[in-house]
Amino acid sequence: MEVNLMSLNDWSEDLQVNGVPYINTYPPGPYSLDKIKEAKKYVTSYWTGKKKDSEDGWDLPLTVKKVANSLIEDVDGNVYIDLNAGISTANFGYNNPEIWIRAQEIMNEYGVLGIFPSNDYNLPLMIDASKKLLSTVPNGPEYRVHYACDGTEANEAAIKTAVSFTGRGCVVSFMGSFFGRTMGSLSCMAQKSRDADTFRSLRSSNVYFAEGANCPNCIFCDHPEDCNGYCIEKFLKDRVLTHQVSPEEVAAFIMEPYTTGGLMNPAPEEFLKSAREICDDYGIVLIFDEIQSGMGRSGKMWVHEHHGVQPDIFTSAKSLGGGVSPLSAAFIRDEIMEEVPAYHGSTYGGAPISLAGNMAALEYMDKHRLLDRVRDLGNVIGKRASEWEDYLNVWQTRGWGLLRAVDFRENKNNPMVEYKSQIQGELFKEGIVTMSAGQGRYLSMLRLIPSFTIPNEHLEIGLDIFEKVISK
């Protein structure tokens, strides 16, 4: 089978003539508008459902014709620089030819192509892929890998495993995180009250919420330097675990060690260490969601490496399948798996194409020293972004590696949500794709999460345009 791969080379003529970004027709142009109308008739999407009243439905009215690395061409012939990397699903760039070709070689080597119900048979490819993946994890030999397709499924596996292992029925979650849209994950989320309101009858009532490491929105102190640790000491220990649920009833703590869509904030080390201590004291399973933040985005392969705190289970997804095929994983401590009476499964989880994509991506990361590149490009963004804090409406810029955001507020308590959307729209019209982020009423951020392979020049152009638009 021959795979035709589109790469930047296929665009070279156009790109040389026009440069990037290239706005031919003010977006959304006529073809895009037609396609948006058609889409509304034939397809559902998370965003169209939520934004019934909006003209276009999606975060951006972007109808994609083709993609390569960090570029997206729309159906009107506009070419955009994507500073969102497909919400982190394209860490290695769209259509990365090296990864695709290598993934196909791997599938051929193992004699299994595409889809196979991998959870139900023993596949040497899965064993080898797991060895390779676990070699990237601190204390890797202490974990086993459960494979699924979506991030939310990996979290479901984590929650079910913890409940099954401990025989306990309650979970403590941390406000502001995002875990996914299936009922277990959704039950653990307190990010937007609308989700809770709509699905209240189906949400578990056995999830209790503590205050997450949402330092920029901290309700206990105004500045991170004044941190008094009340979120853990006074709220989690003295309220949640004394007034609402006994720690002996709690199966798991589930949290994002780096709140991504919610706030783009790495948790302070002390926060995670205290959570680890409580879990150790009471036999609670500590689950970290690194769905978006893992796989190198923060500048280290896994976020918890920064903190030196070892979770009992952690989950990842997004670019785990190398951009070739969907893949998510729950990394579960051996000693837990030995004792789990009832477990979780997934028909397509760990399909050969996804495992091969993962193996190829890990090889690619090593070969091109991509973690160094994430740190270098992250420093470039960080330096530029810190200068933007002088602009009137930029309250803070935050993040590590290529997990960054610009937060538009008048001050801590006054997020500028409309203004952020206006900036996002202007950037789009200038050929820059971004995605918003935030929690509760603080939907005031734009993410800066480009692919690790974005050419330096495209990143510089993207940042120049970003700067021009927000400095107006």
Ligand X SMILES: Cc1ncc(COP(=O)(O)O)c(C=O)c1O
Peptide bond into 21 cis (omega under 30): yes
Interface size with ligand X, residues (CB under 6 A): 13
User: Cis bond leading into 124, ω under 30°?
Assistant: no
Spatial CA neighbour of 290 closest among 397, 99, 137, 85 = 137
By beta-carbon proximity to ligand X, the closer residue of 191 and 396 is 191
CB of 259 to ligand X, least distance (A): 8
CA distance 266 to 262: 11
- Closest CB to ligand X among 151 and 450? 151
Quote the least distance from Cβ 391 to ligand X, whole Å.
28
Question: Residue 405 has which token pair?
Answer: 């955001």
Q: Which of 29, 93, 151, 357 binds ligand X (CB under 6 A)?
A: 151
Binding span for ligand X by CB under 6 A among 167-175, 256-264, 371-379, 440-448: 256-264
Asked if 249 touches ligand X (CB under 6 A), the answer is no
Tell the smallest beta-carbon distance from residue 388 to ligand X (Å): 24
Q: Residue type at 395? A: W
Q: Tell me how far, at minimum, the Cβ of 438 lies from ligand X, in Å.
A: 13
Q: Which single residue is written with the structure tokens 């609402």? A: 244
Q: Tell me the C-alpha distance between 252 and 238, whole Å.
A: 18
CB of 289 to ligand X, least distance (A): 5
Residue nearest to ligand X (CB): 151
Both tokens assigned to 403: 């997990």
Spatial CB neighbours of 54, under 8 Å, sequence gap ≥ 6:
none
Q: What's the farthest any 2 CA atoms get from each other in the chain?
A: 67
Question: Taking CB under 6 A as the rule, does residue 256 contact ligand X?
Answer: yes
Question: Are 129 and 359 within 8 A, CB to CB?
Answer: yes
Conformation bin of residue 323: beta by default, left when phi > 0, alpha when psi is -120 to 50: left
289 binding ligand X? (CB under 6 A): yes
Per-residue binding string, ligand X, 339-378, x by CB under 6 A, is ----------------------------------------
Q: Does 444 bind ligand X (CB under 6 A)?
A: no
| Near ligand X by CB under 6 A: residue from 292, 346, 436, 451 | 292
The pair phi, psi for residue 469, each rounded to 5°, is -70, -45
Q: Which is nearer to ligand X, 26 or 46 (CB)?
A: 46
For residues 317 to 336, the per-residue mask of contacts with ligand X, x marking binding by CB under 6 A and - elsewhere, is x-------------------
Number of CB atoms found within 10 A of residue 225's CB:
6
Q: C-beta of 210: minimal distance to ligand X in Å?
A: 17
Position 302 contacts ligand X (CB under 6 A) = no
Q: Indicate whether 150 belongs to the interface with ligand X (CB under 6 A).
A: yes
Give CA–CA dist 190/446, Å, rounded.
21
Beta carbon of residue 57, minimum distance to ligand X (angstroms, whole number): 18
Residue with tokens 């969907």: 326
Q: Which stretch binds ligand X (CB under 6 A): 94-102, 178-186, 218-226, 435-443?
A: 178-186
Report the C-alpha gap between 43 and 380 in whole angstroms: 39
For residue 38, count CB atoms less than 10 angstroms from its CB and return exposed for 0-12, middle for 13-18, buried for 19 or more. Answer: exposed
Residue 292 CB, shortest distance to ligand X, in Å, is 4
* Single-letter amino acid code for the residue at 26: Y
Work out whether 152 is an interface residue with ligand X (CB under 6 A).
yes
Other residues' Cβ atoms within 10 Å of the Cβ of residue 109: 13
For ligand X, the closer of residues 104 and 292 by Cβ is 292
Other residues' Cβ atoms within 10 Å of the Cβ of residue 431: 23
Would you state the structure tokens that stand for residue 296, as one six-digit string? 């190198």
The window from 131-139, 254-262, 298-306, 406-414 that contacts ligand X (CB under 6 A) reads 254-262
Q: Closest Cα to residue 302, out of 256, 252, 369?
A: 256
CB 402 within 8 A of CB 294: no
Binding mask 182-221 for ligand X (x = CB under 6 A): ----------------------------------------
291 binds ligand X (CB under 6 A): yes
59 binds ligand X (CB under 6 A): no
- We find the least distance from the C-beta atom of residue 46 to ligand X, in angstroms, to be 9
CB 437 within 8 A of CB 176: no
Q: Does 174 bind ligand X (CB under 6 A)?
A: no
What's the one-letter identity of residue 243?
Answer: H
Structure tokens given for 197: 């309101």
Stretch of 136-144, 175-183, 186-194, 357-365 lying at the interface with ligand X (CB under 6 A): 175-183
To ligand X, the closest distance from the beta carbon of 430 in angstroms equals: 26
Taking the complex as a whole, how short is the minimal distance between the CB of residue 39 and ligand X, in angstroms? 19
Q: Which residue ranges make up the site for ligand X (CB under 6 A)? A: 150-152, 178-180, 256, 260-261, 289, 291-292, 317
